[in-house]
Amino acid sequence: MRDILHCDMNNCYASIEMKLNPKLRGQALVVSGSVDERRGIVLAKSEKAKKLGVKTGETIWEAKLKCPDLITVPPQYDQYLKHSLMAREIYYSYTNQVEPFGLDEAWLDVTSSKKLFGNPNVIAEDIRKRMKKELGISVSIGVSFNKIFAKLGSDMKKPDAITCIPHERFRKIVWPLDISSILGIGSSTRKKLNKINIYTLGDLANTELSIVEKLLGKNGKKLWLYANGQDQSKVADMGFRPEIKSVGNSSTCTEDLLNAEEVYHVFQVLALKVCERLIQYGYQAYGIEIHIRDYEFNSVSYQKKYSYPAYSSIILCERAMDLFENYKVFRPIRALAIRAIYLVDIDKTQLDFFALEDGLIKKSNLDQAIYEIRKKHGKDSITFASLKENVKLPTDLQDIYTLPNSMR
């Protein structure tokens, strides 16, 4: 029997902000994008804001209807990443099997750690105390015999709590819970299960597997196994790196985009970000996908696979504009996204005639040079001349921090 912990940093972004500025402690606080730059969405909330009904994902004006004295602060992603890595150092002092799940969560397999550090509950309590002392942040920890129930345990009691779901008592603890309590069941799946009178995890566990599979396919079998305590997925080892299937970036614009030229400039900026990350990871992309959201919040996506791969921002932008031609009825655009898909290793592709005709090598070399200069001298040290004009993007457009978060 395995011993798995799931550690969840409570109200992570808001907690870090309160640590950095003690005057914010105990306040109704949210981390949000800029209202002036039309990104006023709640990204994270403090415990007090949560108790007042503030929800992640809602607009600031909606949140302030519930809490007129709400304090808003901009995100500091560099600090969140720093604290995430500090937490991981604590986890690694107990086991080399640590699998992050986003910036603020991680699974730990402590099966082989008991002789050194004590039983799983003792280890969990030690981690809880160290997180408060060394990072100034509370953590909720689930202790169980598989990853799914460990995650469920950390969700059951918050903040600053430890919840144990042992094998011999999991039916009593888990089965009365709503089916949405478990990882992998969102609102759509929940509605489908409710239609056949499956409301609790016990209902799911005791339904014939063939019925669940017929309703949900392969995912149905996986969820049925979860409910029956049969999750066998392993916690990733220290050296594990999950396969990256796509690399993207997006932004809400500071003003609506009114013509194709403005769209092109935004795609240039987003493509530069994507290009940098492709080079960092050692990938190039056969395909591209774009996402468009207009001023009335209507969304549409287009994607295409091309005959040869590329990582150059110039080519990525050209392909994005190629796809943009499908947007026949132009409506003022609020937000754009670009995503590189069908990834392959940079060094494992043979160039063909069409790639050479499109100047792939020259464009790729240019982007490689831009990447190296930015890496050495900062992201503002060099850019395309056209981007010195007024591009309708936030001045603090953030890079996306990607950490392993696989659930195999």
Q: What is the pLDDT at residue 378?
A: 61
Sign of the dihedral defined by the CA atoms of residues 210, 211, 216, 221, in that order: negative
pLDDT of amino acid 363: 66
Strands 139-144 and 162-165: parallel
State the pLDDT at residue 279. 87
Sheet with 333-345, strands from edge to edge, namely 247-257, 333-345, 283-294, 299-310
d(CA 306, CA 115): 55
Global confidence as pTM: 0.72
* Burial bucket for residue 104 (CB in 10 Å: 0-12, 13-18, 19+): buried
The residue ranges of the chain whose pLDDT is under 70 are 35-39, 239, 241-242, 347-390, 395-408
Identity of the amino acid at 328: K
Contact in structure between 41 and 182 (CB atoms under 8 Å): no
Q: What is the pLDDT of residue 254?
A: 84
pLDDT value for 349: 53
Report the side by side order of strands in the sheet with 42-45.
42-45, 29-32, 71-73
The model's pLDDT over 348-404, given as tens digits with 9 standing for 90+, comes to: 555 444 444 455 666 666 666 666 666 666 665 555 555 556 677 776 555 443 333
DSSP 270-302: HHHHHHHHHHHHTEEEEEEEEEEEETT--EEEE
> Which two structure tokens, joined as six digits, stand for 260?
């194709």
Q: What is the structure's pLDDT at 58?
A: 87
Query: Please, what are the domains in the chain?
Result: 1-167 (3.30.70.270), 175-239 (1.10.150.20), 247-388 (3.30.1490.100)
Q: What is the per-residue pLDDT for 282?
A: 87
Residues annotated as catalytic (active site), given as ranges: 105
